[in-house]
Chain A
Amino acid sequence: MNDVAATLSTLRQLPPLRWLVSLLHRVGLRGRNAVIALPYLWLVLFFVIPFVIVLKISFAEMQTSSPPYTSLIHWVGDKLTDLRVHLNPSNYLGIWADGIYTQAMLTSLKVAVISTLLALLIGYPMAYAIARADTRWRGMCLMMVILPFWTSFLLRVYAWIGILKTNGLLNNFLLWLGVINEPIVMLQTDFAVYLGIVYSYLPFMIMPLYATLEKMDLTLLEAAEDLGCKPMRAFFTITVPLSMPGIIAGSMLVFIPAVGEYVIPTLLGPADSLMIGKLLWTDFFTQRDWPKASAVAIALLLVLIVPLVWFQRRQAHATEAGQQ
């Protein structure tokens, strides 16, 4: 410990670090403040600044040049008062006017909601089983849940094509079993999209659920039983409410990426499927309409963030009310 402290203090004396430290000190960042500032710095660098850039582009106009959008700020003269800001709302108005975006958004939301519910239905029993399993097995089970991450996401989705296609593994297996007489069309259906999303995001549902279920006090269930509550009812009146934080966290982790999902519907879904992620891709890369695509991205963000913030505030109010 002393060695580390000594090394650190020597390091601090070196010119570039010394300047940095004194600069940070001057703006009031020292000790604990500096530690708290780190995550904020991260958020500003990798979330706020990119967000502002996208927001800026969404109010610009498309043009065939590099970059492919107009600047928002124009100088009409040399003085500071000659600065003109030109905001172009037509991208957003266009989204409204063109029904295809609203339709795609609704389809995406529907797919995300159904996938989240399916992931919850499949993930909850799995998380429950792992949390209640013998301690010896838990580590191994969790390992198996996250093992697919060792392979690339794209590869795993591709692998499903091989399984689901008309001449694929699953059809051949079912034919061999004699369950079906001719291949079923599974690839390029909504079923394949749900399957792909649930398969890909299931670990994100299981992990937070496991975390809350694992730390639950099991004597609460004994207390419930002791008061005349049958095990099934105890599950719904005690276990489920107490695992609500895990249910919410897991559902968010599945729902949010599922809404904007591009890869899975493109590879597994019907060719004509209208999902917001696919539209976004087309706008950016095929049409090269960056302002329109940015506006779609911002609209998507608002659709996700606004209900979330509302929900969180309501939760906070409920907790506060409970404390009085």
Chain B
Amino acid sequence: MPSSALDSACVRKPWNDPQAEPYIRIERVTKRFGDFVAVNDVSLNIYRTELFCLLGGSGCGKTTLLRMLAGFEEPSSGKIFIDGLDMSGIPPYERPVNMMFQSYALFPHMSVEQNVAFGLKMEHKAKSEIADRVASMLKLVRLSEFGKRKPHQLSGGQRQRVALARALIKQPKLLLLDEPLGALDKKLREHTQFELVNIQEQLGVTFVVVTHDQEEAMTLASRIGVMDHGKIVQVGTPKDIYEFPNSKFVAEFIGSVNLFEGQLVTDEPDHVRIACAELERPVYVAHGISAAPNAKVWVAIRPEKIQLSLQPPSDNHNWTRGVVKEIAYMGDMSVFLVKLASGKQLRITRPNMWRHDDENLTWEQEVFLHWHDTSPVVFTA
């Protein structure tokens, strides 16, 4: 399970430190639009200098939650505290928060410099100070040569960086980012992801990022909050979320997963045995779960945690047989789709570690699939 609270690195993992004061405290916040409940009784703590990702499909309430932090929406009930201050009734222009919009929302009639300077101008800062800070901010996002341009004369990636610079110029303690990389192409996205993390670490700002892209969330976040139907269903580090999903929904939403329905056969404190109709052998898991005897459970196994072999494994559990139906060669790894006798199709990935593959697995070949007894995740249905 996640690293213990006694972890010496709890300075960098403040959510494990019971003494740590959260920077943002969301307390039982609900937001209704007419009959529709966009955000449903959400409580969440976010700590200083975290890069927190709100992840979920469209309409799950993640953007509404972000907009409530920015002050564009008021919660229907519940409270939001930022740095210990109750934010109810405080308009956006008085909050210590800046936001980077999904559409970037750059002012089309202003140059890049004027866009970036806007926040400081509103604070009536001296002209020379504004010029200095704008220059250094443009340098940070590597746009120094583009200060005189208008937004429509920039590429998508450059606009994204202007939006970031504009949101950061007031040195907010908290920056909200709505799908920050959504409008960029894949190459630029990967590059920008690392840049964002860099800037975040350099300035020590707390980031709250909304995204529907799980890959983006995994690379960016210190912690992820997975949302579904207005509720936060799991909060944890990317690794927690991926390796220890707490529900079928989270397991299926993050990455891909092979799911089997089964029945609990033995449930001991140190192991459980589960019979799955779709698998030839029972599933053996090396830890106990607390569930009723003979309970219906779900077993989830990630594609990269299943091994393929041509010889039958010696154990009498944790394996099954199938026929290779599809092979997708992706360069760094290959994806196999294997059909079991029960008709169920499994997804298995394996890294291409050698340039010459001795096994030479091919279509319609019979293979054995097996996994380690720590690999399956069990959900009580």
- Which residues of A are in contact with B by a Cβ distance under 8 Å? 217, 219-220, 222-230, 233, 238, 241-242, 322-323
Contacts and interface: CB of A to CB of B under 8 A. Distances in A.
B105 A223 contact: yes
B93 A223 contact: no
A322 B151 CA distance: 11
Contact of B170 (A217, A219, A228, A322): A228
A225 B92 contact: yes
B274 to A, nearest CB: 50
Contact of A217 (B72, B99, B103, B150): B103
Interface of B: 70, 72, 91-94, 97-99, 101, 103, 105-109, 111, 118-119, 122-123, 150, 153, 166-167, 170
Given A229-B93, A230-B93, A219 B103 contact: yes
Given A322-B150, A323-B153, A226 B109 contact: no
A197 B167 CA distance: 47
B107 A222 contact: no
B70 A226 contact: yes
B105 A225 contact: no
B170 to A, nearest CB: 7
A226 B107 contact: no
Contacts of B111: 322
Contacts of A230: 93
A218 to B, nearest CB: 9
A217 B122 CA distance: 21
Contact of B119 (A217, A227, A323): A227
B105 A227 contact: no
B93 A242 contact: no
Contact of A226 (B99, B108, B150): B99
Nearest to B169: A227
A322 B167 CA distance: 24
Contacts of B122: 227-229, 233
Given A229-B93, A242-B108, A322-B150, A224 B118 contact: yes
Nearest to A222: B72
Contacts of B119: 227-228
**Which residue, A225, A233, A322, A323, has most C-beta atoms of chain B within 10 A?**
A225
A228 B105 contact: no
A226 B93 CA distance: 5
A227 to B, nearest CB: 4
A224 B103 CA distance: 14
Contact of A238 (B72, B107, B150, B170): B107
A213 to B, nearest CB: 14
A144 B286 CA distance: 75
A223 B107 contact: yes
Given A217-B105, A242-B109, A226 B118 contact: no
A242 B106 CA distance: 12
B132 to A, nearest CB: 18
A217 B102 CA distance: 13
Contact of B93 (A228, A238, A241, A322): A228
A243 to B, nearest CB: 10
Nearest to B152: A323
B103 A241 contact: no
**Which residue, A227, A322, A323, has most C-beta atoms of chain B within 10 A?**
A227
A179 to B, nearest CB: 41
**Which residue, B99, B105, B170, has most C-beta atoms of chain A within 10 A?**
B105
Given A227-B166, A238-B107, A242-B108, A222 B93 contact: no
A241 B103 CA distance: 20
B153 A226 contact: no
A226 B98 contact: yes
Nearest to A230: B93
A227 B101 contact: no
A223 B109 contact: no
Nearest to B153: A323
A220 B105 contact: yes
Given A228-B119, A228-B123, A230-B93, A223 B170 contact: no
27 contacts: A217-B103, A217-B105, A219-B105, A220-B107, A220-B108, A222-B70, A222-B99, A222-B101, A222-B105, A223-B101, A223-B105, A224-B107, A224-B118, A225-B93, A226-B97, A226-B99, A226-B167, A227-B167, A228-B122, A228-B123, A229-B93, A233-B122, A238-B107, A242-B108, A322-B111, A323-B150, A323-B153
Nearest to B95: A226
Contacts of A226: 70, 92-93, 97-99, 167
Contacts of B153: 323
A229 B153 CA distance: 25
Contacts of B70: 222, 226
B91 to A, nearest CB: 7
Contacts of A229: 93, 118, 122
A322 B111 CA distance: 9
